[in-house]
Structure 1
């Protein structure tokens, strides 16, 4: 399979194949649970133009992909590409626990114009490492798009073993890993032995990941503090570790509020409502944030320096 002709934004740093600051974007929804496509376009523009994201992940877990249809995923991806695809890398989440379904989603994303694919470890059925290797390689063979593997055993039940990642690193289109299991040393070994680019997939560990060589973040809190995280990246890579640490510590209340008290998408949509931005409701079996949760979230966001939209 030849590399895809889907045009990436100009000026991409080759060491960070999907950009450095990416947010796993929520899927804005109306009160009746239908997708708010206009809101998605506005949110994407906000994340890129005001929160300094140079990449977005669409239809990931934070985008509620378990409850969206293939048709909705396609329209959402096209909407975001039209809104910001000329100035940000748009990565389509296509991972499922059924290889054939994942292949269909990967091809659909390529046809829509995606710049890359995020492929999560198959969940629930817990395939052996040989099954993982075959699954990922088959998906990477199916399109010309670069692939970021998503290793999050806390959700999937199965980690990608270092030996499997070492094997997959030889595939020309498997170029990156979103790491959300906290194995900084294991990743350090793989960075030494391969050309895989590692992205922090755990906002609590963003700064530690930079310290061992990660090229950037795929963030959830980037919805509200993306510009701060980009400043952290720039400061660290520019040698100003003190400044990067200051930002890390200032954002602790925000990360605590969004990432530790309920599912990230629930907290993020509540945070977006406090900022007057599109987010809306969540789909069952998730439930919307309670007023009590939102009130506590508001205080934590303010403590982290986030400007809240005050009511009339």
Structure 2
């Protein structure tokens, strides 16, 4: 397993709390961030898909980084999503994130316009050159319409500040090859692949489900690192029913996470209905009550 974990192992893709009237709730965000770190998260990723970044302003994104940075202190990695479909705007957000105190940048492939690979590469390089912060490439072709192809990823890995990947490609074979060939720190962005990717050399995960059960997810990695693969497998199997309901049951992870945490969504997202909420709560209670989880 790679020892290069620039942002730790267990990262939470944190939801963005809003007030009842839809404003940014910085006090709630600070409290949530502190709780997540206290319950086992090594770092936090703000302003991503789970953080409803398409509906927050540039100023709100920076304000959230500042509030969380203050809440968790300087020792906890705080990354922020800055991805847009516009390279110039993305570079502007990168500079704003650096000024706000972020430790790293989550940069998604430009979406909708479906640029060719040469343009994808140029986009990431220009953003990486915009600040002194390390970059985590977010490869999620199911949402963006464009994959970061392996040859492109190999070239990006040569940039000194492109250090990590949030992998939602669902291509474990290619991920394993690129880990070995490039030294990039691969973080699983797909809950069902957290353990498999870790087992082939991944650095850890960036998890939506960690908003709800951070200790239970971290315990899987702890067991694997302790050499107890059977225990890691058992713990992973216990988490999967909740993870499936949260991430693969027809609702966005933001919606299901806030259904369990309580919280306001910004449109176009809508709250989960009663049937979905009841199912989520039943799965959550079954997980946390099954047995105590000891973090190694």
Q: How would you bin the TM-score normalised by the shorter chain? A: over 0.9
**Contact preservation (8 Å) 2:157, 2:163:** yes
Change (3 A) 1:155 1:99: same
2:227 maps to which of 239, 243, 253: 239
Match of 2:79 in 1: 91
Match of 2:214 in 1: 226
User: Distance between the aligned counterparts of 1:95 and 1:197, measured in 2?
Assistant: 19
Given the two structures, how large is their TM-score scaled by the length of structure 1? 0.90
Match of 2:132 in 1: 144
What is the RMSD computed on CA atoms of the aligned residues?
1.3
**Contact preservation (8 Å) 1:253, 1:303:** no
1:287 maps to which of 257, 262, 270: 270
- Tell me the SS of whatever aligns to 2:212: helix
Does residue 196 of structure 1 match 2:170?
A: no
Match of 1:174 in 2: 162
Give every structure 1 segment of 4 or more consecutive aligned residues whose post-TM-superposition deviation is greater than 4 Å. none
**Contact preservation (8 Å) 1:24, 1:56:** yes
User: Distance between the aligned counterparts of 1:63 and 1:147, measured in 2?
Assistant: 18
Match of 1:10 in 2: none
Does residue 297 of structure 1 match 2:280?
A: yes
CA offset digits 1:141-192 (Å, max 9, x no partner): 1100010000000110011000000010000000000001111110111112
- Give, in angstroms, the shift of residue 252 of structure 1: 1.4
User: Distance between the aligned counterparts of 1:31 and 1:114, measured in 2?
Assistant: 27
- Give, in angstroms, the shift of residue 86 of structure 1: 2.4
**Contact preservation (8 Å) 2:3, 2:203:** no
- Give the 5 Å matches for 1:53-202: 53-202=41-190
- Tell me the SS of whatever aligns to 2:129: helix
User: Distance between the aligned counterparts of 2:91 and 2:194, measured in 1?
Assistant: 31
**Contact preservation (8 Å) 1:26, 1:63:** yes
Match of 2:260 in 1: 271
- Tell me the SS of whatever aligns to 1:217: strand
How many residues align structurally? Answer: 288
Structure 1 unmatched ranges of 5 or more: 1-12, 274-279, 308-312
- Tell me the SS of whatever aligns to 2:84: coil
- Tell me the SS of whatever aligns to 2:246: helix
